[in-house]
Chains A and B, each alone.
Chain A
Amino acid sequence: GQNIDQPTEMTATEGAIVQINCTYQTSGFNGLFWYQQHAGEAPTFLSYNVLDGLEEKGRFSSFLSRSKGYSYLLLKELQMKDSASYLCALFDYKLSFGAGTTVTVRA
């Protein structure tokens, strides 16, 4: 397998910043996706990194370092609606997901 590791849970306060790390042990992939999944709903696309570096999309940013086998998703200005599971996935035409990180945003 690709041994994709993410923290199980994180808690943060509304308005704060949270960084979700994802580590993996493979070099054979095209890119790395981040998806958001609210309980009982479909995963929705957040970001995609092909090259090393930072991709910024509004309040969400994602970073990839292939040499370090590492990615992170940065969520800024947290809102209550950001409470969800965040899934890291390696892409080589099919997606190989980590178990997901459940983020709880508190008022």
Chain B
Amino acid sequence: GAGVSQSPRYKVAKRGQDVALRCDPISGHVSLFWYQQALGQGPEFLTYFQNEAQLDKSGLPSDRFFAERPEGSVSTLKIQRTQQEDSAVYLCASSRRGRTDTQYFGPGTRLTVL
């Protein structure tokens, strides 16, 4: 299909390990967003890219969280020294144009930190 894809779908990490989560947006989509969804809650905004530029990272919960999109397509969300409170589903979304278009979500990566 031509939707947003994410990998891995599931990740188990020991506390203190680093993890990297990948997002492949819909081809040609300019904007890319990362959200964090805790169990039983709605997604919470983490960061936003327009092409390769990270225009908003105000939602990243700490400096252990880092995101990049070096060529304006695939994006990686990296979490260093994972903590138990990082356990959540990490959703990626992309939209066609800049700031005004519908966002289409990937299936998410479920991260469990033991």
Contacts and interface: CB of A to CB of B under 8 A. Distances in A.
Interface stretch (B11-19, B37-45, B67-75, B78-86): B37-45
Contacts of B99: 93
Nearest to B38: A99
A44 B44 CA distance: 16
Interface residues of chain B: helix, strand, loop or mixed (majority): loop
Interface residues of B, number: 24
A69 B44 CA distance: 21
Contacts of A41: 107
Contact of B102 (A45, A98, A100): A45
Contacts of B45: 94-96
Nearest to A98: B42
Contact of A97 (B44, B56, B104, B107): B44
Given A30-B100, A42-B91, A93-B99, A99 B107 contact: no
Contacts of A44: 105
B108 interface: yes
A99 B40 contact: yes
Nearest to A96: B45
Contacts of A89: 42
Interface in A53-104: 87, 89, 93-100
Contact of B42 (A30, A42, A97): A97
Contacts of A94: 33, 45, 48, 56, 59
Contacts of A15: none
Interface of A: 4, 30, 33, 35, 41-45, 48, 87, 89, 93-100
In the A-B complex, the 6 residue pairs with the closest CB atoms:
A97-B42, A93-B99, A42-B105, A94-B45, A43-B105, A42-B107
Given A93-B48, A95-B43, 6 more contacts: A33-B102, A45-B104, A93-B98, A95-B35, A99-B41, A99-B42
